[in-house]
Chain A
Amino acid sequence: MVSGTFVEVAAPARNREAGTAGTAPASRESGWSRIRRLAPPYLYLVPAVVLLVVWTYQPLAQTFVLSTYSWNLVPSTPMVDVGLGNYERLLGTPELGRAVWRTVVVILGMLPFTVVIPVAVALLTRRVRGRAQGVYRALVFAPMLVAPVAGAAVWQWLLDPSAGAVNRVLGTDVNWLNTASTAQWSIIVITGWHVVGFAVLVVTAGLAGINPDYAAAAQVDGASRSQVTRWVTLPLLSPTLAFLALMTVLLSAQWTFPLIDTLTQGGPVSSTTNLYYLLWEYGFRSHDAGLAAAAGVLFFLGFIVVAALLTRLAARLSHHDD
């Protein structure tokens, strides 16, 4: 499908000048052939962009509209225009602040699993060569392949207060998922279990992209192995680390969703209700479409701000290889 027809990059600027003169009858290029020449790049992109516009940007616009209405998601009931009422209601609930705080806790709690552990593991396995390395990576990657819902089922058993393996190994009898103080951490550890392998793979890929000459040069200059790691490898790895941190911030709450829904349903006493789950509850439990949309809008705007700040920060911190 990607044949070599458009190998040469057309020079649009120069040709466009030729095109503006195209009103003259002696024009060498008709409008049609100009379209045929300039259109191909867009034709390649059109299917993807159309899908994105119809299935994400349009719903996004609808979220904004819906956030000013009161509606229970039933097509036959009328939508009532409430202006900014939903936002007032939302900001007035103490739930929101708590959910935001819990989301922050989840993100901070996930960072060791998505950044610290993967870096440690990848640095170590880098020295293991050949088959063993591949096997090790495959083993660590395995949980990513288990559907989160299926993972939740087994963790429910591992964390079982009476027969669970975790309590027996630790010699405790904690009811991990049904105690307000431990439920959140259990969710974090299970989510971490699910994504740690992927993060290891990303760090490994990042390490492989680093030119080994730098480390070699530093060693020639007498740097010890840990000095090389600290002052050469890690700074060069910073774009990868920034990428992982950004992913963690943006996706942690999303990763926890299937686990929370199957294991705790946001409880006990909403100790695991983060923003993501709160939004879902508004929409599909309370059937309060307006409130859910308002929360969605705030969530979305908040994330744009956070993402922009992080990318800016990452760009400043990154040490580029080239």
Chain B
Amino acid sequence: MAVTTGRKARWALIDVVVVVYALFPVLWIASLSFKTKETLADGNFIPREWTLQNYADIFATNEFIRPLINSLGIATIATLIAVVLGMMAAYAIARLDFPGKKALIGVSLLIAMFPQISLVTPLFNIESALGLFDTWPGLILPYITFALPLAIYTLSAFFREIPWELEKAAKMDGATPGQAFWRVIAPLAAPGVFTTAILVFIFCWNDFVFAISLTSTEASRTVPAALSFFTGTSQFEDPTGTISAAAVVITVPIVLFVLFFQRRIVAGLTSGAVKG
């Protein structure tokens, strides 16, 4: 049990270094977003002159607002559908027994190993042929598909841990099947569903590969793709301030979301999702 102070200090040092490494760039983005164009390159961590100009700039242009709407819509719809389909599949996998189950699980999960990039060219062809290229469904469908293995995997791990006898017990006590499900099973399944929804949402929200290869205009371009165009030739002479502001705007909602559900997520993850 003897842990010397020297060892403790070393461990603490590692921790501090990791936090600085993780957090410093995040705070730096925030700092850049409040700097004026003149002080952008001064290297000061705390802006010497605070300004909201960068935020005003991005919200004044369709180059940001349109992609933001696209991102919100596409990621939300894809997450909802993926989680619902994932729940259905996970329920069958965790609770029912039927011939061909193993093969179907294999088909559903194997895809997680496919390098996305090797499918981008054919997806581009298919979508061009179907007229889905550069539309919302053109991104939503691949997002759902590529999120499904993750959703099925996490959800079936959660569903396996749920004590389903409780449902029967509730029904014996006179609850209707609906009541038994919503009052007994749903609360138990909620952490798993939230965890999955967040992981899927982060995947859709931050995706870049599909976003740049399957879109070409503001009709469906999402924020990550739009940001990469900010860096190139655009109407802003020096886009760093505006990119940082945009980065803050798209990160804040997801951070709030995760902080709000943080306890549930960690509880969810620890209750079996990643247990070997």
Contact = CB atoms under 8 A, between A and B. Distances in A.
A49 B107 contact: yes
Contacts of A9: 95-97
B144 A303 contact: no
Given A38-B98, A45-B88, A262-B231, A134 B120 contact: no
B60 interface: no
Interface of B is mostly: helix
A31 to B, nearest CB: 17
A205 B270 contact: yes
Contacts of B107: 49, 52-53, 57
Interface of A: 1-7, 9-10, 12, 38, 40-42, 44-45, 47-49, 51-60, 62-63, 66, 73, 75, 117, 120-121, 124-125, 134, 136-151, 153-158, 160, 163-165, 168, 193, 196-197, 201-202, 204-206, 208-209, 219, 224-225, 238-240, 242-243, 250, 253-254, 257-258, 261-262, 276, 279-280, 283-284, 289, 292-293, 295-297, 299-300, 303-304, 307, 318, 320
Contacts of B51: none
Residue among B29, B87, B185 with max Cβ neighbours from chain A (10 Å): B29
Contacts of A304: 113
Residue among B87, B168, B202, B227 with max Cβ neighbours from chain A (10 Å): B227
Contacts of B144: 51, 55
A149 B228 contact: yes
Residue among A55, A243, A276, A320 with max Cβ neighbours from chain B (10 Å): A55
A307 B112 CA distance: 11
A303 B113 contact: yes
B15 A48 contact: no
A147 B206 contact: yes
Interface residues of B, number: 107
B205 to A, nearest CB: 7
Nearest to A318: B276
Nearest to A39: B98
A58 B141 CA distance: 14
A147 B180 CA distance: 40
B206 A148 contact: yes
B145 A303 contact: no
Interface in B143-196: 144-146, 148, 152, 164, 167-168, 171, 177-178, 180-181, 185
Given A7-B164, A139-B22, A154-B247, A149 B98 contact: no
Contact of B119 (A59, A139, A153, A206): A59
Residue among B23, B168, B223 with max Cβ neighbours from chain A (10 Å): B23
A153 B229 CA distance: 12
B244 interface: yes
Contacts of A42: 92, 98
